[in-house]
Structure 1
């Protein structure tokens, strides 16, 4: 006698649904092949498993016994498969990338996808975290590399600036700075409330944004601190003020926001941070893909 696990799953689907039609729908298969598989199982066991004359169909005594035993076998196999998946996942190498959200609007997603293709034996894991958390996570070994917009000085962490990305001003749809065309200066932006993010922890991209005005002895009409980029853009759309963002964020198209270039050299670094010391092979591949 040979019974495979697929036959048991077919049988259990019909037994639970008390219907070949519903069982087939549950299994995402046609009814005719399902009926044939059940008939083959009955032939193998030399026992009728269902009373097909009743409505809904009922299990025979042999069917009830098989249901009890089949449930035990299938659950045991499912548990074994889950245990093996957890074991394999624990044994499989991981490469964890920490990042701030604004780094995801440029080339980084494409590069991470290519890295996954080239390192099929390694799990590539993404973790959103702010600048200070990235530094701590690198030193603790919780992440292998971080992508950020600001440098946080630490003797155990190395920063590599991959590019300087120009900033643009995000303004509410229909704002006069957008309607007139061209670019704007920081002095003009300072006539509006400035929305900065993240408000905490500091230092952060908010401090970089504010430094552009401080270095020019400018003071925005007001400063509104929010937790994250998405919140800042919602505030802009509501007419609360302006926000300076990396130009790649313009890919996040919104009908209620417009973007305008700034006529001064205002940039934010797109940087990679890593632990000091030897560079792992996966990190070397990541850097090579970005070049």
Structure 2
């Protein structure tokens, strides 16, 4: 059994047709049918229900399909990683969510470039969800995100948890609450969530935090990005929950007030491929923890 047999089989299952699968694979249908028949002979089982329209797998065929997809995915991951290891010009591509640019990521990246001059560092802005797929496809080497997205091919390390703040107009009663406010205090407010990209995203995380407190904000609106949300707050249109590092974004009449709920935090994760054990990744962690030491930020070094 070869990988091409698995590719042929997966294509037939997903297209539910030998004809469509042959077109997708750019081969003629008779050779494709023979390859599937040879695969069935080698396994000693029937993979497809004969005469079904559209074409359906047997129970054994469905089991084989699920594992064939995993094997093909692993093969692509190994091929991609091997190419990267053998590349003469060493490049590390780091995915990140945009809000992290207002925090420590720029300092970490600059320090990393200074300490690893032989490396070409490329930053690629993308959602946490897209980072997972990009890691598996070898398009990036690490990803900095805020969401707890699990995948067996990806290792996720919690770097720290960032406190959340409430952005309000200077005329808003909350702006005088210097000690802070609670989620229950703001649930009835007109609230901007961001981004308006596909879920899950930061707005999903915020709704989950409210839900865990038994709260259900009703007056919400999603906008494209954090700058737009804060600009609307500065215009007196409502309020917005943001990570603490976002307070570096300044508009006239824009104030930031702490959220006092203990779990009002946004985690920051670094994700790598499960099989990734390169010295470049370890050096990146060293830079992260050097910056954390300078900022007196607590972290657990044992995780990597």
Counterpart CA distance in 1 for 2:180 and 2:169 is 15
Partner of 1:168: 165
Tell me which of 279, 282, 292 is aligned to 1:281: 279
The Cα of 1:256 is off from its aligned counterpart by 2.9
What is the total number of aligned residue pairs between the two structures?
A: 202
Q: Distance in 1 between matches of 2:276 and 2:197?
A: 32
Unaligned runs of 5+ residues in structure 1 are 1-89
Query: What does 1:48-63 align with in structure 2 at a 5 Å threshold?
Result: none
Aligned to 1:268: 266
1:124-147, Cα deviation, whole Å (9 max, x unpaired)? 111110112111111111111010
Q: CA deviation at 1:280?
A: 1.5
CA distance in 2, matches of 1:113, 1:182: 34
The one-character-per-residue Cα deviations of 1:183-238 (angstroms, maximum 9, x if unpaired) are 11111111202211122211111111011211122222411111221121122222
How far apart are residue 239 of structure 1 and its match?
A: 2.0
Equivalence for 1:226: 223
Deviation at 1:246, TM superposition (A): 0.8
Q: CA deviation at 1:181?
A: 3.2
SS in 2 for 1:235: helix
What is the CA–CA distance in structure 2 between the aligned matches of 1:178 and 1:112, rounded to whole Å?
34
- Matches of 2:124 and 2:178, distance apart in 1: 39
Does the aligned pair in 1 maintain the 2:181–2:258 contact within 8 Å? yes
Residue 111 and residue 240 in structure 1: after superposition, are their counterparts in 2 closer, same or farther (change >3 A)?
Answer: same
Pick one of 121, 125, 129 that aligns with 1:132: 129
Show CA shifts across 1:62-82 (max 9, x none): xxxxxxxxxxxxxxxxxxxxx
- 1:150 to partner: Cα distance: 0.7
Name 1:37's counterpart in structure 2.
Answer: none
- Following TM superposition, the consecutive aligned residue runs of length 4 or more in structure 1 with deviations greater than 6 angstroms are none
In 1: Cα distance, 2:142 partner to 2:283 partner: 12
**Could you report, residue by residue, the CA deviation over 1:244-290 in whole angstroms, capped at 9, with x for unpaired residues?**
11101112233231100112111010110111113211111111111
Q: TM-score, normalised by structure 2?
A: 0.64
Q: Please, what is the CA RMSD of the aligned residues?
A: 1.5
What TM-score do the two structures reach when normalised by structure 1? 0.66
Mapped partners of 1:98, 1:141: distance in 2: 11
Paired position in structure 1 for 2:190: 193
Once residues 201 and 157 of structure 2 are traced to their aligned partners in structure 1, the CA distance between those partners, rounded to angstroms, is 17
Three-state SS of the structure 1 residue aligned to 2:106 is helix
